[in-house]
A = this chain, B = another copy of it.
């Protein structure tokens, strides 16, 4: 909430609305604050509108409508999707899409999260200490990023390439590292990377 006074105004509007079923006049708000100026009361209401807490029917008496219910922790797994951002242009709205649903990460297949250590996939945008969402599978397609177990002991994160002779090549996304070409019998795929995320904290 913007300021102390704005908060008082919001609380008053809520209480008034609960009691009467409609919003107070600006003069009543001012009077409740102990001030004389309707203009000032209007400024506070406009601040509340800017925060999305309230809606104003222009020029209407008692034209204030409450927008949000005061629930403190409704956790949904969606966030507003504002649009695209690209260098050199204003943010462009994406029509038809106003929310991004992250629940795709939580679909009830066999999925788990791994914290990545090391830079082997850095050129694919997977950095050290990033999280990857892995779907449990024993097979994968060419070009998939997979969690592969080599010789039953070493687990690595690499891009998969199936060769004609039946062997597979595990390619790191890092020019400093070399691809590994291995016979199919030595490699067991444990899962495929279906997502990645990172938190800046």
A residues near B (Cβ < 8 Å) are 1, 3-4, 21-22, 61-62, 67-68, 72-91, 94, 100, 102-106, 108, 111-118, 120, 122, 125-127, 130-134, 144-145, 147, 149, 153-157, 172, 177, 192-201
- Docked-complex contact B80 and A77, CB < 8 angstroms: no
Contact of A88 among B68, B82, B112, B154 (CB under 8 A): B154
Can you name the residue of chain B whose Cβ is closest to the Cβ of A51? B110
Report Cα–Cα, A136/B16, bound state, in Å: 31
- 23 A–B contacts, CB within 8 A, in A order: A1-B22, A4-B62, A68-B201, A73-B75, A75-B103, A76-B77, A77-B77, A79-B106, A80-B111, A81-B112, A81-B114, A83-B114, A83-B115, A85-B116, A86-B117, A88-B156, A89-B154, A102-B197, A104-B201, A105-B199, A145-B200, A195-B198, A196-B198
- Docked-complex contact A197 and B197, CB < 8 angstroms: yes
Find chain B residues with CB under 8 A from A154 CB. Answer: 87-90
Report Cα–Cα, A5/B80, bound state, in Å: 39
Contact of A127 among B117, B125, B133, B157 (CB under 8 A): B125
- Docked-complex contact B114 and A84, CB < 8 angstroms: yes
A17 CB → nearest B CB, Å: 13
- Docked-complex contact A79 and B105, CB < 8 angstroms: yes
- Docked-complex contact B157 and A85, CB < 8 angstroms: yes
Given A73-B73, A75-B74, A85-B147, residue A155 in contact with residue B91 (CB < 8 A): yes
Report Cα–Cα, A46/B72, bound state, in Å: 29
Report Cα–Cα, A11/B153, bound state, in Å: 36
